[in-house]
Amino acid sequence: GTRIRRRWLARLNPPQLIAVSFAVTILIGAGLFLLPISLEPGQTLRPVQALFMATSAVCVTGLAVVDPGTTFSTFGEVVLLGLIQIGGLGLITLGTLFALALRRRVGVTDRIQVAQQVSALELGGVVRLVRTIVLSSVLVELAGTVVLSAVFVPAEGLGRGLYFALFHSVSAFNNAGFSLYATGLTGFVTNPVINIFVPLLIVLGGMGFLVQLNVLAHLRDRRRARLSANSKLSLTMMGALLLIGTLGFALTEWNNPSTLGTLSVGNKLLASWFQGVTPRTAGFNTLDYSTMGFVTLFMTILLMFIGANPGSTGGGIKTNTFYVMMASAWGMVRGRSDTTLFRRRIDTTTILRAMTVGLLSLGLVNLGFLLLLLLNTNKDILFLQLFFETVSAFATVGLSMNTTPLLNPDQEVVLIFLMFLGRIGPLTFAVAFSRPDSRRLVRYPAEHDILIG
Amino acid sequence: GTRIRRRWLARLNPPQLIAVSFAVTILIGAGLFLLPISLEPGQTLRPVQALFMATSAVCVTGLAVVDPGTTFSTFGEVVLLGLIQIGGLGLITLGTLFALALRRRVGVTDRIQVAQQVSALELGGVVRLVRTIVLSSVLVELAGTVVLSAVFVPAEGLGRGLYFALFHSVSAFNNAGFSLYATGLTGFVTNPVINIFVPLLIVLGGMGFLVQLNVLAHLRDRRRARLSANSKLSLTMMGALLLIGTLGFALTEWNNPSTLGTLSVGNKLLASWFQGVTPRTAGFNTLDYSTMGFVTLFMTILLMFIGANPGSTGGGIKTNTFYVMMASAWGMVRGRSDTTLFRRRIDTTTILRAMTVGLLSLGLVNLGFLLLLLLNTNKDILFLQLFFETVSAFATVGLSMNTTPLLNPDQEVVLIFLMFLGRIGPLTFAVAFSRPDSRRLVRYPAEHDILIG
Ligand SMILES: [K+]
Ligand SMILES: [K+]
């Protein structure tokens, strides 16, 4: 049991496993998109565009260089949906597996805690874990389909309506943000079902699998299954960011005639809630981002960069990473040697890991943005538009100020890399740190005399 | 000797000392600017404008809400120059003192190294240190005045020319970037003396006092006075950033008709060198930043944020901070437990300090930018213009896309805080970390189970 599982995990170099499996899936997807059967009659797709759409789907980003609804045939759309599903499930599974593998290296007390928390998994191992993830995901997606068909069946007819409900449910739960409508969900800005249940699917998908397991176990037996520090932090951060996103959007767009201005107070609040949820890297929108104010857009950029909870289908540097990073930095300024959280000290390795994920992500965003600027040939594209697009690609959000179709092929390639690295990066970084440093035989003496600040 | 000095340093809480002394100097300066004697006949100055100009001078930033040459009388200009001189000397002195104080806490071998390096200082103590700093600064500034008078005396006449030479020499060495010309040094874009000696003064001022002492001692006796790791890192980073800045500017602006396009090849290189040096937080310019391309401007933003060497008159998060932060992050991804530098291991405290300075600085820039966007009332100001202005203020650079005079009083207040915090922040952070954590009596057990990435 445990021995075999460990050997299996050890043989595959985790970062390589993630990168290769994602790349292969993307290439297969791009190949399928290039088949004539994938396209509507009269539509064409360049290879780079096919690669872009496949990357965007597998990395559950949602940025689109062509409109999926008008370009792809039903077969093409099903391929897109399949890639989203594989990408999303792959992320939850890999994220959960590596989290468990990392935890197994730590002390005995922690192992007991993990065992309590995911007792079901310890028995059946990896196969059972994957089965649990797949089953629970499909269950949520089917429930979502049933609810959303209440909107799409009246709008599109029975067969097409059910298909639309399934597509948008899967797209929402996996935080993919692809829509079969050319203008996204802007036609449903005042629809209460869309405004309540699409965000609910997004939040469930972006919550993190271990958090969900922990919460379910806790609800069943509050004494034996306590909420872990990871769950408490993830839930608190998620709640805080949802609140900030919703209130921030309402306050900054309340009177903008292009967005909330013309809506009733109730609908203003509904739309603010939707646009407050979507930067948790979902990518759906019911309002046009190219008409929003600077403050809203910059706030959205910050929320997108922070992203969703770890071990979920959402992207970004992750809520926990952001909290640990900022709390430790602030604590150090206050002269505190320890950063504490729920009466626990966050250990130095976790702090360094969080800061590293944050800094390298920033480096990647800056580099990608610089390349997009360098390669830019369209003088009508604004600085802010490209910056928004960069962060949206890195954090696999999929929101756009309608910039994606204006980019040239070179810029499309940059975005493909940004989506790919933004997706596997933070996950890979987190795993890479845990490798023992066996190559270095000599340890140099410490240098304390580098001036900082 | 040592005992008394230690008690004296211990009694003053260093962060409070820095903040209060800077604030008091700024308030006195603002008060002087409001006197009628400080203004040219017919000119007026609002209190917020006076506070802005005083903050910009003491923090050696160089951003200006009014043009100093036309607004201030000669008395006002001398006050401005005095504030720059006090600010610059204060920074070098405080930076050096705290660096020495921090070093004194570390091991015996380090103490010997420090003693070798700054042997002159150990004998005479603080007073002698301050005297050395003041004398060497004045000496460099006077030499700069002599050289620059070769340009300004022919242009402005003898008396006025000498005065202009002194003003620009002091402004350059202290990395202040204030000019008596309304359009900065754009009139001298092809002047070789300006293009060689103003950057030289900027580089000398931004090199760091301890580095300069170490280099001088090393040049005198290569065996006994080795170059310290701090000096090697500071000099390497400075060289690399100067090269990147110059080449980057040349490559991106070579054919821009508003900047390098119309110049000869030699002058293109001269102007690229000048504009490559000035983002080391000097703030002088010989070309108009509002006419440059997106790539140049974004690259300048990155260079400004990184800034100059620690313990100098330059701002930003500092070259060493940037290197340690990024090298450690990259090393961790590569699975290396140690970050090494010149056959020395950078200790964990230094790494955490660097990452903290970087992250909090980013937080401050983002917060300041968000406030500037929120308070903006001028619809003609672009997103990029405000972002450039924010980083320029935080890193006390003083470059502007001609945005400063367009801001409203509320935004001026935000910039005043940004300049102040950007100036004292990184220095204060660095010191604050060294305080022992005496308040916390209970140490919580470590939490290893927070998921990151
Ligand atoms: K997405
Ligand atoms: K400056």
Listed range (A260-264, A360-364, B227-231, B414-418) with the worst mean pLDDT: B227-231
Kindly give the interhelix angle for B294-306 and B229-253, rounded to the nearest 10 degrees.
170
Give the residue on A whose Cα is nearest the Cα of B317: A453
Give, as one character, the DSSP assignment of residue B37: G
Q: How far is the CA of B134 from the centre of ligand 2 (A)?
A: 19
Task: Say if residues B282 and A422 touch (Cβ distance below 8 Å).
Answer: no
> Tokens in use for B221?
């006796």
Q: What is the mean pLDDT of residues B218-228?
A: 83
Q: What is the mean pLDDT of residues A127-135?
A: 83
Identity at A199, one-letter amino acid code = P
Question: What's the rounded Cα separation, in Å, for the pair B245 and A359?
Answer: 22
Question: Looking at residue A165, what is its pLDDT?
Answer: 96
For B392-444, the pLDDT digits (tens) are 999 999 999 999 999 999 999 999 999 999 988 766 665 554 444 444 455 56
Alpha carbon of A305: minimum distance to chain B alpha carbons (Å)? 12
Residue A356 pLDDT greater than 90, yes or no: no
What's the distance, CA B115 to chain centroid? 27
Residue with tokens 């640990």: A324
Tell me how many domains chain A contains.
Answer: 1
| Encoded tokens for A215 | 């919460």
Cα–Cα dist A321/A319, whole Å: 5
Check CB contact under 8 Å for A451 and B337. no
**Of residues B186, B213, B197, B362, the one with CA closest to residue B291:** B186
Q: What is the DSSP letter of A23?
A: H
Q: Which of B168-172, B342-346, B385-389 has the lowest average pLDDT?
A: B342-346
% of chain B surpassing 90 pLDDT:
58
Q: What contacts 24+ positions apart, CB below 8 Å, involve A326-332?
A: A326/B359, A326/B363, A328/A354, A328/A355, A328/B352, A328/B356, A329/A355, A329/B355, A329/B356, A329/B359, A329/B360, A329/B363, A330/B360, A332/B352, A332/B353, A332/B356, A332/B429, A332/B432, A332/B433
Angle between helices A265-277 and A229-253 (to 10 degrees): 130
As a whole number of angstroms, the longest Cα–Cα distance in chain B is 73
Domain residues for the domain of B314 are: 2-432
Asked if pLDDT for residue A369 goes beyond 60, the answer is yes
Average pLDDT value for residue range B156-174: 94
Residues of chain A with C-beta less than 8 angstroms from the C-beta of B298: 369-370, 373, 383
**B347 contact residues in A (CB cutoff 8 A):** 446-448
In angstroms, the separation between the Cα of residue B20 and the nearest Cα of chain A is: 18
pLDDT for the residue numbered B111:
43
The pairing of strands A340-341 and A344-346 is antiparallel
Look at residue B60 and tell me if it is in a domain: yes
Question: Higher model confidence: residue B382 or residue B353?
Answer: B382
Q: For residues B364-385, give the mean pLDDT.
A: 94
How many Å separate Cα A23 from the centre of its chain? 18
Phi-psi domain of B283 (left: phi exceeds 0; alpha: psi -120 through 50; beta: other)? left
pLDDT tens for B15-29 read: 677 788 889 999 999
C-alpha–C-alpha distance, residues B76 and B79, integer Å: 5
Kindly state the tokens that stand for B223.
Answer: 């065996």
User: Are the C-beta atoms of A301 and B379 separated by less than 8 Å?
Assistant: no
pLDDT band at A3 (very low <50, low <70, confident <90, very high): low
User: Is residue B102 assigned to a domain?
Assistant: yes
- Read off the DSSP letter of residue B228: P
Residue at B330 is within a domain: yes
Q: Does a structural domain hold residue A286?
A: yes
Of the candidates A337, A352, A453, which has its C-beta nearest B429's C-beta? A453
Decide if pLDDT at A148 tops 90.
yes
In tens, the pLDDT along B86-119 reads 999 888 887 777 777 665 544 444 444 444 444 4
pLDDT of A2:
52
Q: How far is CA A159 from CA A152, A172, A218, A334, in A?
A: 10, 20, 40, 61
The pLDDT value recorded for residue A131 is 85
Euclidean distance between CA atoms A191 and A142, whole angstroms: 20
Residue type at A83 in one-letter notation: L
pLDDT at A188: 94
Statement: residue A258 has pLDDT above 80: yes
Q: In one letter, which amino acid is B318? A: K
Phi, psi of A216 (to 5 degrees): -60, -45
Above 80 in pLDDT, residue B225? no
Residue B63 Cα to ligand 2 midpoint, Å, equals 8
Cβ contact A191:A81 at 8 Å: no
Position of tokens 């660096």? B99
Residue A123: pLDDT above 60? no
- Between CA A164 and CA B191 the distance in angstroms is 68
**Residue A51 and residue A423: Cα distance in Å, rounded?**
15
**Is A447 a member of any domain?**
no
The neighbouring-strand residues paired with A446 are B345
User: How far apart are alpha carbons B402 and B288 in whole angstroms?
Assistant: 8
Q: Please, are residues A117 and A213 in contact by the beta-carbon 8 Å criterion?
A: yes
Between CA B386 and CA B398, with CA B392 as vertex, the angle to 5 degrees is: 115
Number of neighbouring beta carbons within 10 Å of residue B134: 14
pLDDT at B107: 40
pLDDT higher than 70, residue A266 = yes
In angstroms, rounded to a whole number, what is the distance separating the alpha carbons of residues B244 and B247? 5
Q: Do the beta carbons of residue A436 and residue A100 sit within 8 Å?
A: no
Instruction: Give the closest-approach CA distance of B424 to chain A in angstroms.
Output: 10
User: What pLDDT, on the 0 to 100 scale, is given for residue B195?
Assistant: 94
CB A383 within 8 A of CB A163: no
Question: Which of B292, B348, B452 to mutate: most A Cβ within 10 Å?
Answer: B452
Tokens 């290197």 label which residue? B323
Q: Looking at chain B, which residue has its C-alpha nearest residue A98?
A: B451
pLDDT at residue A11, rounded to an integer: 58
Nearest to B332 among A298, A352, A449 (CB): A352
| Range B341-369 average pLDDT | 86
Residue B121 has what pLDDT? 45
Contacts of A80 (CB under 8 A, 6+ apart): A53, A57, A68, A72, A178
pLDDT attached to residue B116: 45
Vertex B426 angle, CA B172 and B344, to 5°: 100
Residue B14 is predicted with a pLDDT of: 65
Residues of chain B found within 8 Å of residue A380, distances taken between Cβ atoms: none
Share of chain A above pLDDT 70, in %: 84
User: What is the pLDDT, as a whole number, of residue A446?
Assistant: 64
SS3 content of chain B, % helix, strand, coil (to 5): 70, 0, 30
At residue B120, the pLDDT reads 40
Minimum mean pLDDT among A390-394, B133-137, B249-253: which range? B133-137
Buried b (16+ CB within 10 A) or exposed e, A99-131: bbbbbeebeeebeebbeebbeebbeeebeebbe
Which of A107, A228, A310 lies closest to B452 in CB terms? A310
Cα atoms in the 13 Å half-sphere on the side-chain side of A294: 22
Q: What is the pLDDT of residue A91?
A: 82
Question: Each residue of A420-448: pLDDT tens digit?
Answer: 999 887 666 655 544 444 444 555 666 65
Measure A5 CA to ligand 1 centroid, in angstroms: 32
Q: What pLDDT is stored for residue A448 in this prediction?
A: 59
Q: Mind telling me how many Å the CA of A357 is from chain B's nearest CA?
A: 7
Asked if residue B169 belongs to a domain, the reply is yes
Q: Is the pLDDT of residue B140 over 90?
A: yes
State residue B229's pLDDT score. Answer: 82
Q: In what order do the strands lie in the sheet with A340-341?
A: A340-341, A344-346, B446-447
Give chain B positions within 8 Å (CB) of A347: 446-448
Q: Which of A54-63, A109-118, A358-367, B36-45 has the lowest mean pLDDT?
A: A109-118
Q: What is the DSSP string of B160-214?
A: HHHHHHHHHHHHHHTT----SSTTTTGGGTT-HHHHHHHHHHHHHHTS-HHHHHH
**In the predicted structure, residue A13 carries a pLDDT above the cut 80:** no
Nearest CA distance, B285 vs chain A (angstrom) = 23
Task: Name the band, by pLDDT with cuts 50, 70 and 90, for residue A117.
Answer: very low
CA distance A130 to B295: 46
Express each pLDDT in A330-340 by its tens digit: 887 776 767 77
Q: Is the pLDDT of residue A15 over 80?
A: no
Residue positions counted in chain B: 453
The residue with greater pLDDT, A199 or B126, is A199
Subunit contact A229:B294, Cβ cutoff 8 A: no
Please give the average per-residue pLDDT across A345-350, as a whole number: 80
What pLDDT is attached to residue A111?
43
- Least Cα distance to B416 among B45, B1, B50, B87 occurs for B50
**Residue B347 in domain:** yes
**Hunting for tokens 């829509």 — which residue is that?**
A179
Question: Can you tell me the distance from the alpha carbon of B117 to that of A395, in angstroms, rounded to the nearest whole number?
Answer: 47
Write down the ipTM of this complex: 0.86
Residue B453 belongs to a domain: no
Q: What is the DSSP string of B384-415?
A: HHHHHHHHHHHTT----SS-GGG--HHHHHHH
Are the beta carbons of B352 and A347 separated by less than 8 Å? Answer: no
Provide the pLDDT confidence category of residue B328 given band limits of 50, 70 and 90.
confident
What integer pLDDT is reported at residue A427 of this predicted model? 63
Q: Yes or no: say if B83 and B168 are a contact pair by the CB < 8 Å rule.
A: no
